[in-house]
Amino acid sequence: MSLASLISPHLPVLTVLLPAFTAMLLVLIGDSRERLVLARRIALASVTLGLLLALKLALDAHGGELRVYRVGDWPAPFGIVLVVDRLSALMLVLTQAVALPVLLYASGGWDSHGRHFHALIQFQLMGLCGAFVTGDLFNLFVFFEVLLIASYVLLVHGQGRERFRVGVHYVAINLAASALFLIGVALIYAVTGTLNMADLAQRVPLVTGDETLVLKAAALILLVVFGVKAAMLPLYLWLPATYAAASAPVAALFALMTKVGVYSIVRVHGVIFGADGGASALVVEPWLLPLALGTSTLAVFGALAAQTLPRLVAYLTIASVGTILASLGLFSTAAWSAALYYMAHSTLVIAALFLLVELVASQRGDADSRLEPGAPVAQPVLLGLMLLLAAASAAGLPPLPGFIGKLMVLQASSGHDAQVWIWIVVLSVGFLTLVGLARAGSLLFWSTRPELAGTGTSAGASSKLVLATIALLIGGVAMTVLADPLKRYTDAAAAQLTDHRAYALGVLGGEGVDTTRPYVFPRPAAGVPAGQGAEGEP
C-alpha cells in the first residue's frame, strides 16, 4: 500500500510521463523486424496501463475530487499546474479507449509500413493527455505542438505521393494556426498578466474598458485556432483530404484530434470567457452556434458527395464535430453534458468507421475504397453487420448511443431562441448521414460485380483487425447500456465547469488570491502596450 500512496499524488503527471517514457524506450529499441513484436507488446502494455490510470482518475473525479498537480511544487499561478477534473478525466479515458484498439489494429501490419510507428503513437498520446490535463494556457500550446508534431509524421506514415502532398498542406495550416495561438495567448497575457486557467477565470471578469476589446480579440483569435483543430466551418477544408490520405489506424487516432479543439473551446470559451466573464462574457456566443450548424450541414453534403469511403467517414467526422459544437454553443450545463456524451460516442464510432472502411476496402479488389461496384467482399455478413451497427449509431437511430446523444442535444435546446434551427439541422443531418451510409453500404455489399469475385482478398481480414474494430464498436454500444451513469457523470462534469469558485479554491488555494501583477494593477507610466503607441510621442 505504501507504493500506492507514494504514486497516488503523482497520477496526473503520470498520464503524460507514461507515454513519454514509453515513446523514448520504443525509440531506443527501434523497430527492426525482429524487435517489432517486442515494440508492439510494450506499446500495448503501456496503453493498457494508461487506460487503467485514466479509469482510476475518472472514478476519483466522479466523486468530485479535483486533482491538482503542481509541477516542481511551484505555487499556482506561478508554476505550471496539471488539473484533473471530471472533463479532463473523461477525455483521458476516451483517448486511451480509442488508442488501445487502434494500436491493436496497427499491430496487424500497418506498423511495419514505416519507421517508429509505435513511438510516434506514444508521443501523440503524450500530447493528447497533456493537453487534457494541463491547467495553463501556454502549456496547452506546448502540448498542442507535441501532438501536432507527432501527427505530422504519423500522417505520412506508409508514405506515398498523396500523403506527402496533403502532409505539406496539413503542416502549413497547423503552423499558421500555431502562430495565431501564440498571438491570442500573448494578448491574453498582456491584458490579464496570467495564463493559468483558474487565475484567468478570476481575472477576466475584472478587465474593463478598452482592454476588454483586446481580450475579446484574443478570445476570437483563439476560436479561429481551435476552430482549425476542431474542423469548424469555414476552417474544415483541410480535414477530408488529410484524413482520407492517412492510413486507417492513424485516421482513427486523428478522430481524437478534432476533439482537442472542442475540448479547448470548452475550457477557454466556455469557462474562462463563459457566462461569468464580466465585460467579455460569452464573446463567442454569436459565432459558435451558427458556425456549428453550418459545419454540420455542409459536412453532411460532403459525405453525400464523397467518392471514396475514407472521405465519407472524414466528412462524417466534421458533421459530428458540428453537432458537438452546436450543443456547446447553447451555453447551458444540460447542453454541455449532451455535448460531452455525444462527443465520447461519436469519437468511438468515427474511429471504428475509419478502421472498418479499410477492412472493407481491402477485400474489394481493384475498386478498393472507391464508391463504385467492385468485387464482392469475402466476409459480407460480418462486415455488413458491423457497418450497419456503426451507421445506425452515427446517424442516431435508437437504441444506439448516437440517438441518446442527439436526444440530449435536442432536449437541451428547448427554450433556446435557435431551437427550431437546431432541431432542423440535427435531425436532417442524422437523416442524410443515414442516406449517405446506406448508399455506401448497398454499393459495397449488394451492388457488386460477381464476375470479379476472387480478385479481392478471399481469405478475409485477420481476426486481430476485426477484433480491434469490434472492440471500438462495442465501446460505442456499451454507452447505451451505461447511458444512465454516463449521463450522470457528464451532467456533473458540466456542472463542475461552471463552478469557478471550487476550481479556483482547488488550484490557487482560494478565490481572489493576490498574485503579483507587475504592470496591470496599477500600470506604470512606462508600460504602454506596443499596439497603442502608434501616434508617436513628442
Residues within the interface to another protein (CB under 8 A): 138, 142, 145, 149, 152, 156, 159-161, 164-165, 167-169, 171-172, 175-176, 178-179, 182-183, 185-187, 189-190, 518-519, 524, 526-538
Q: Are 222 and 195 in contact (CB under 8 A)?
A: no
Helix (H) or strand (E) holding 146: helix 137-155
Q: Strands (DSSP E) along 56-208, which ranges?
A: 67-70, 81-84
137 or 437: CB nearest another protein: 137
Q: Smaller CB distance to another protein: residue 254 or 331?
A: 254
Three cell numbers, residue 329: 454553443
Closer by beta carbon to another protein, 163 or else 345? 163
Residue number with CB closer to another protein (171 or 410):
171
Shortest Cβ distance from residue 330 to another protein (Å)? 33
Q: Cell triple for residue 99? A: 488508442
What minimum distance in Å lies between the beta carbon of 146 and another protein? 9
Q: Using the minimum distance from each CB to another protein, give the nearer residue, 244 or 390.
A: 244
Q: In the bound complex, what is the minimum distance in angstroms from residue 85's beta carbon to another protein?
A: 25
Residue 78 region, left (φ>0) first, then alpha (ψ -120 to 50), else beta?
A: alpha
Q: Is 133 exposed, middle or buried (0-12, 13-18, 19+ CB in 10 A)?
A: buried
Output 246 or 492, the one with its CB closest to another protein. 246
Q: How far is the CB of 485 from another protein (least distance, A)?
A: 40
CB distance 77 to 196 below 8 Å: yes
What are the residues whose beta carbons fall under 8 Å from the beta carbon of 241, sequence distance 6 or more?
166, 169, 311
Rg (CA), the chain: 23
Minimal distance, residue 502 CB to another protein, in Å:
27
- Sign of the Cα torsion 330, 336, 341, 345 reads positive
Q: Rank residues 179 and 482 by Cβ distance to another protein and give the closer one.
A: 179
Q: How many C-beta neighbours within 10 Å does residue 329 have? A: 26
CA 88 → CA 84, 342, 460, 497, distances in Å?
5, 16, 39, 11
In the complex, what is the shortest distance from the CB of residue 538 to another protein, in angstroms, rounded to a whole number? 6
**Choice between 59 and 175, CB closer to another protein:** 175
- The residue (of 398 and 527) whose beta carbon lies closer to another protein is 527
Distance CA 65, CA 86 (A): 9
d(CA 341, CA 406): 9
Least distance from C-beta 224 to another protein, angstroms? 14
The minimum distance between CB 182 and another protein, in angstroms, equals: 5
Cα torsion angle, 91, 262, 369, 167, sign: negative
401 close to 475: Cβ distance less than 8 angstroms = no
CA-based angle 358:362:363, to the nearest 5?
125
Which lies closer to another protein via its Cβ, residue 247 or residue 498? Answer: 247
Q: How far is the CB of 416 from another protein (least distance, A)?
A: 37
Cell output for 134 = 494541463
Cell of 320: 459530428
Give least dist CB 175 to another protein, A: 5
